[in-house]
Amino acid sequence: MSGPRKTRPNLPPRLQLPHVSPFIILSGDRCSHLSYPTVKSVLDSMSPVEAIVYNHDQRAAVLKQGLSASDLRKELQSCYQRIYTSLLAVLNSREAKHAALSLEGDRAQSFLDAVQDVLDKGSLPSAQHTSQARRLILRLSEARDQLPSSLFITGIVDHDEHPTFCGGFGDIYRASHNGSTVAVKRIRMFSASAESQRARLQFCREALVWQTLQHKYVLPLIGIDRVSFSSSFCMVSPWMKHGTVLKYLTEHGRDDVDKLLLQVAEGLGYLHSMNIVHGDLRGTNILVSDDWSACLADFGLTTIIDAATSSSAALTSTANHAGSARWFAPELVQPTSFGCEKFMRTPASDVYAFACVCLELHTGSPPFSGVSPDVAAMLKVIAGERPARPDGSMSDGLWSLVTTAWAQNFRDRPNIKTIVESMRTLNA
């Protein structure tokens, strides 16, 4: 026979959990309407998912109470610690993850916001925990068509009337945010079509992943601006005053080209370690930061554009996919001819593109620059042809690495970790 069923304390209607979140001070005599043991009993009886939702809403209530700075800091820290501990419990339980994915409405929003806050602080104990938490909110976001509130930012001011740069995906405007110069990238392909709506959702998912990335050679995302241009979502990132790596090399010479290529490889290695494919690696998508380092940009945007062009027959031709065909691996040009079931950007196709970038940065020109149009260059790639070695500017070691990295069979290419190790040796 089972023992007596554990019940929650009998609370006034306005304090029933977890559907409402009353303001409760958990520091001794400040708890006026419920005793501390009662409050503790309520909190202890919650599931980890309930505790995350409750403590997130509790933080919002605490902020409205006019506490002293020290008391406010203590209460917020207490709420955060309970969220953190509960999240670890959720990540270690299949049942708890299922419960989280069943949340709806305001409770789903509170869960998304709470977990995103933990991710933003970078306080989870391992990369595995971080990856699990990111996947969980991505799945909940997709299921409920909701996103963490912190993804959206306001306060973009003084943006230029005309774009500074117009690219294939959108237009870049210079603006200010919190006193810093930022780049506002307006994605121009959004419309009312079903494909565009899928692309808008994909845009937000990619931004959700991008915002969690932290690496010296990867352009950070500040957030999404949905105010500056009412018809478009915009990606906001730091302004890179030195421009693209191609512009930098043209203006300053190519003495640092191999150092920059190593930084590109390390940035790409970080993305691959996070299970992220860049998808459009080329010189125009590599910026130079304020400290003169390479900085990868525009990763993930290719999947957004692919989502906008994925209707019926749109997948039958490489020309329908975003990105430049001159950096495409053979399996992206003719998937079924090279052992792939469909068009799909992969770490191996990124490695092929990296080989092309090595050539591009050493020569200042795209692959097969003397061949026109793009289709003719693509036919050469399918036939197994590759651009010639640059005259005098590329070492034997780097050329050997390039020829391996753009192998015709994607299975013969090294992974990016091997490339980084080789590049470090070459730069030693």
Structural domains for the chain: 13-147 (no CATH), 156-238 (3.30.200.20), 245-427 (1.10.510.10)
The DSSP bridge pattern shows strands 170-177 and 180-187 to be antiparallel
The two three-digit tokens of residue 323, written as one number: 């990105």
For residue 68, the model assigns a pLDDT of 84
Q: Which residue has the tokens 């470090």?
A: 424
Please spell the DSSP secondary structure of 265-310, one letter per residue.
HHHHHHHHHTT------SGGGEEE-TTS-EEE--TTHHHHHHHHT-
pLDDT in tens, the chain (428 residues): 445 444 444 433 333 333 333 444 444 334 444 444 555 566 667 899 999 999 999 888 888 877 788 888 888 898 999 999 999 999 999 999 999 999 999 999 999 999 999 998 888 999 889 889 988 998 898 888 788 998 899 999 988 888 888 766 678 899 999 999 999 988 765 544 555 666 667 777 777 878 878 899 999 999 989 888 876 778 899 999 999 999 999 999 999 999 999 999 999 999 999 888 998 999 999 999 999 999 999 876 555 445 444 433 333 344 445 458 899 999 999 999 998 999 889 999 999 999 999 999 999 999 999 898 889 999 999 999 999 999 888 999 999 999 999 999 999 999 999 999 999 999 98
Per the DSSP assignment, residues forming a β-bridge with 183 are: 174, 237
Length of the chain: 428
What is residue 223's three-state secondary structure? strand
CA-CA-CA-CA torsion for 154, 159, 163, 165, nearest 10 degrees?
Answer: -70
Rounded Cα–Cα distance for residues 188 and 163 (Å): 12
| Inter-CA distances, 414 with 80, 139, 236, 370, 401, Å | 43, 32, 34, 28, 9
Side-chain-side CA neighbours of residue 85 (13 Å):
12
pTM exceeds 0.75: yes
